[in-house]
Amino acid sequence: MTSTSKAGMIPVMSKVALITGAGSGFGLGLAKKLVDKGWVVYAADKNAKAAKATAEFGAVPLTMDVTSDSSVSTGVKKIIRDHKRIDLLVANAGFGNFSSVEETSSEKIREIFEVNVFGVERCIKAVLPQMRKQKSGRIVMTTSVVAHVSLVGLGWYSATKHAIKAVANALRQEVRHLGISVVTVEPGTSKTGFGPVAFGLLEEGRAISEYDGVMRGLNKWLGGLYRVSPGPKKAINTLFRASTAGIVRSHYPVSWDVRLLKGIFYVVPRSMLDGFVLWLAKK
């Protein structure tokens, strides 16, 4: 797709983006903003109905399951076939699960890693050959404040976000000389469909009574934060800046709570932090 410059003479090639998890939440909001700015946006989601709905505002719907090698490969090949380029990958699809380390089943642990880690891996490896060929591109990964702060009930979920932060740091160094930038965006609590799903799984997964106290505390204070947290607008705007800024930063914390928790986690001794978290759980 091309557009015309203000002079009306010089054709300008639209930039091409692939956003995973674009059927709802942050991904959907980002897709709308990029389309408004003239981008060609492939809005990918495993929910075919949600993906199809993005055509209403001008995105290109793409049914894609990031847990499937063939699904990701087919989707990326279609984009390259259609436009001969990919300027932006936003690896945004994610799966949340709040549960104690012991109570989380092996199957659930594999499921969360399959989406949050291996799903990102599939997408990165699918787009990098084209980005290397064109000597340009940007990869944005949605992580979380829990890429830094691992607390009661968030162990396995935090592990996936720690993994993506580590991958992003290494990949950024590996591809910079190729004209490719790598960015992470770190949301805090935000009202999207993520919270209800994660807390619903918390209730379903309870089995060991010895964890009742701390898990009730998690539900109370973290659930309370989700209930009073703002909508996704700030995170969407931050994702947009990370995706389009001329001079890009490595990491984009979304809000004050992310900056505060990161600071506390890296400065406060762990024994004090543990005591504070457990005190919150008892309040």
Active site residues: 157
Residue with tokens 């997408």: 123
- Residues 6 or more apart whose CB falls under 8 angstroms from that of 173 comprise none
Contact assessment for residue 146 and residue 161, using Cβ atoms and an 8 Å cutoff:
yes
In this structure, are strands 11-13 and 2-4 parallel, antiparallel, or unpaired? Answer: antiparallel
| Burial call 183-221: b when 16+ CB within 10 Å, e when fewer | bbbbbbbbbbebbeebbebbeebeeeeebeebbebbbee
- Residue 204 to residue 224: CA distance in whole angstroms: 19
Residue with tokens 């005591």: 275
How buried is 55 (Cβ within 10 angstroms: 0-12 exposed, 13-18 middle, 19+ buried)? Answer: exposed
- What are the Cα distances from residue 90, in Å, to 128, 148, 247, 280? 13, 20, 17, 35
State the first-to-last Cα distance of the chain, in angstroms, to the nearest integer: 57
- Name which of 226, 102, 200 is nearest 153 in CA terms: 102
The helix (run of H) or strand (run of E) holding residue 12 is strand 11-13
- What are the Cα distances from residue 281, in Å, to 38, 196, 265? 47, 20, 17
